Amino acid sequence: MRSDAPTSRHRLVDTDQGVRALVAAVRDEPVYALDTEFHRERTYYPQLALVQVAWAGGLALIDPTAAAIDPLAEVLTGEGTAVLHAADQDLEVLELACGVVPSRLFDTQLAAGFVGMSSPSLSTLYERVLGLRVPKADRLSDWLARPLSPTQLDYAAADVAHLLEVHERLTNELATRGRLDWALEECEQLRSRARGTRDPREAWRRIKEARQLRGRARVIAQDVAAWREERAARLDVPVRYVMPDLAVVGIAQRPPTSLRELHRLRGLEERHLRAEAAAELLEVVAEAVRRPIPPPAEAAPRELDRRLRPAVALVSAWISQLARDLEIDTALLATRADLEALLRGDEDARLARGWRAELVGEPVRRLVEGEAALAFDRSGHLVLEARTGRRFG
């Protein structure tokens, strides 16, 4: 195991001219590594603090607090493949900052799942793929503080310094195992996933207690949660700063008609009702009370046929065994929700298309239709095999 000290082979880009020069250097690269540092604890939108870029010719750290970052869109929309680790939040941040996401993506965490690693951290991936041990950064580091310390810059650089080597190793192993297309398909689904501003009308669904409300109470919860989401976005503060979940549910259950009643509700404090907020909130509640209760917007999800319920636990055990045998992260192969969707016959069932249909979907179909059976082999492993139709006893 080799140890890698924080590298000093990087440069800080903190001018508009420097960003343009960096874009010119990277835009024609076939592959480049990306990472971001950001904060969102006290804001609605993530605050971008640093962008790390590595390519065959160098490694640069862009300071978006000092230089415009949007020219990087030319690199992102180019022909090169962006290599990131656990990319979902980075993609959100890049889309907000540059207006685009990379046109091609290779997520090293996702790809590692296809060679037997279960959602590894970047440091774990470096150790297992490269035999490289890197010092861990302080997860509570203030990346918006300026100037950034040399230690912070070194740690940030380390996040991308070896990603291209990991990409090469993983790509080769995936190709050898015949799984490169599988990994790239998953990366494309991650890349093209809808992001951006959340729909305020759907905000109530993130409140567990609100999802259990019915009738008028649900209507009020939907409207209040939407108002909270819109206000948080307008003020660029976390939704909990506007109002806690507890207060949303309390208002829905006992809708206030006056400021006095509003102040009596559990979970609401004076800081939540400053300026025009209380008046806005009361008007939202009043409108929700006046509005007719709409019919249920969504049909109840179809339940799984009772006759197939025993198959879920049985097949789940086989899928776990199959994932171990194939050295694929079980969550990538098939989740319980995937299995239930397949057995229900959902049109968008993930196990009914692509590589999963061949590995899991078709064998499960044969099992539930009586064409195959599960059995233990001599080593104690579950195997799916053709059914003989002979009964014992």
| Contact predicate 205/211, CB 8 Å | yes
Domains of the chain as residue ranges with CATH: 2-191 (3.30.420.10), 200-290 (1.10.150.80), 306-386 (1.10.150.80)
Q: Tell me, what's the pLDDT at 119?
A: 87
Mean pLDDT of successive 10-residue segments in the chain (393 residues)? 59 98 98 97 96 97 98 98 97 96 98 94 95 74 94 94 98 98 96 86 95 95 97 95 96 95 89 87 96 72 77 89 94 94 92 94 91 84 81 67
- Provide the pLDDT for residue 6: 47
- What lies within 8 Å, CB to CB, of 279 at 6+ separation is none
Q: How much is the pLDDT for 21?
A: 98
